[in-house]
Amino acid sequence: MNTVLVTGANRGIGLEFARQYAVDGWRVLAGCRNPDSAQALQRLMPDIEGRLSLVDIDVTDAGSVQRAAVEGDQGAIDVLINCAGVMGKSDQTIGTIDYDDWEHVLDVNVLGPARMTEAFLERVAQSSRRTIVTITSGMGSLADNTSGGYIPYRTSKAAVNMVMRSAAIDLARQRITCVVINPGWVKTDMGGRGATLTPEQSVSAMRRLIERLGPKDSGRFYNYDGREYPW
């Protein structure tokens, strides 16, 4: 049985990844803060025959990440999906930046995936698929920024893109595939009701992409539909 670890699995895109993989017979490690209060995940559990396990992970806490990596089940992880993320305050342009908020956004969106990748690297390397996916955003594209604003969020996604691009090079000898994927504009707490995709649509498309990934694709920036996205 293949195993996937998803962070930010208590809501939105992360929750949908956990649901779809579990329904399709994967073993799912659903990472989130405060699993006891992750009601949406808990509602899934009776229907998926024990394939879903809740894992207490706060990606901003190095100790929490390390404990999750070494405690409990130590099996191989075929796919690691770094999905935990925050938007921060949306109205930040030059002259209105909240630096405390910016630091928090960077901690979650950049350092979080880096912590996860390092902590779970050995378990990913033990698997047959050896795949690390980080959910980024088109707002992290330098080429696609024509409207400005959202400085903390944009910079965090541009930065995590570079982290994963470097990770792809660093881990090439281990034949670990690292990619970043823009999920599209999705109807979640972050994306809002006006978004064009449901979580089910976005995740279904991303899973089709993830399924065909291999070492030749490592280091690339993809759109959810499989097209390459401009850096």
Residue 41 inside a domain? The answer is yes
Residue 230 domain-assigned (yes or no)? no
Give the count of domains, the chain: 1
CA pair distance 23, 45, nearest whole angstrom: 10
Mean pLDDT of successive 10-residue segments in the chain (231 residues)?
96 96 96 90 80 95 97 90 95 95 99 99 98 98 95 98 99 98 88 82 98 98 98 96
Q: What is the pLDDT of residue 192?
A: 72
CATH number for the domain harbouring residue 186: 3.40.50.720
What are the φ/ψ torsions at residue 178 (nearest 5 degrees)? -120, 125
In a domain, 103, yes or no: yes
**DSSP character at residue 107:** I
For residue 91, the model assigns a pLDDT of: 83
Phi-psi region of 88 (alpha: psi -120 to 50; beta: other; left: phi over 0): left
**Residue 199 parent element (H or E):** helix 199-211
- The answer to whether position 108 is within a domain reads yes
Q: What's the predicted TM-score (pTM) here?
A: 0.96
How far is Cα 198 from Cα 21, in angstroms, rounded to an integer? Answer: 17
| Number of residues assigned to the chain | 231
- Residue 231 in any domain: the answer is no
Establish if 42 belongs to a structural domain.
yes
- 37's CB contacts (< 8 A; 6+ apart) are none
Q: In this structure, is residue 229 part of a structural domain?
A: no
User: What is the reported pLDDT for 8?
Assistant: 97
Residue 114 lies in a domain: yes
Q: Which two tokens stand for residue 108?
A: 């979650």
Distance from the first to the final alpha carbon of the chain: 35
To which residue do tokens 């979580």 refer? 199
Q: Give the structural domain span for 92.
A: 3-223
Amino acid (1-letter code) at residue 44: L
Question: How many other CB atoms are there within 10 angstroms of residue 221's CB atom?
Answer: 19
**Residue-wise pLDDT tens digits, 16-57:** 999 999 999 999 999 999 888 888 888 887 777 779 999 999
The per-residue pLDDT for 128 is: 96
Q: What was the pLDDT predicted at 148?
A: 93
Return the pLDDT at 36. 86
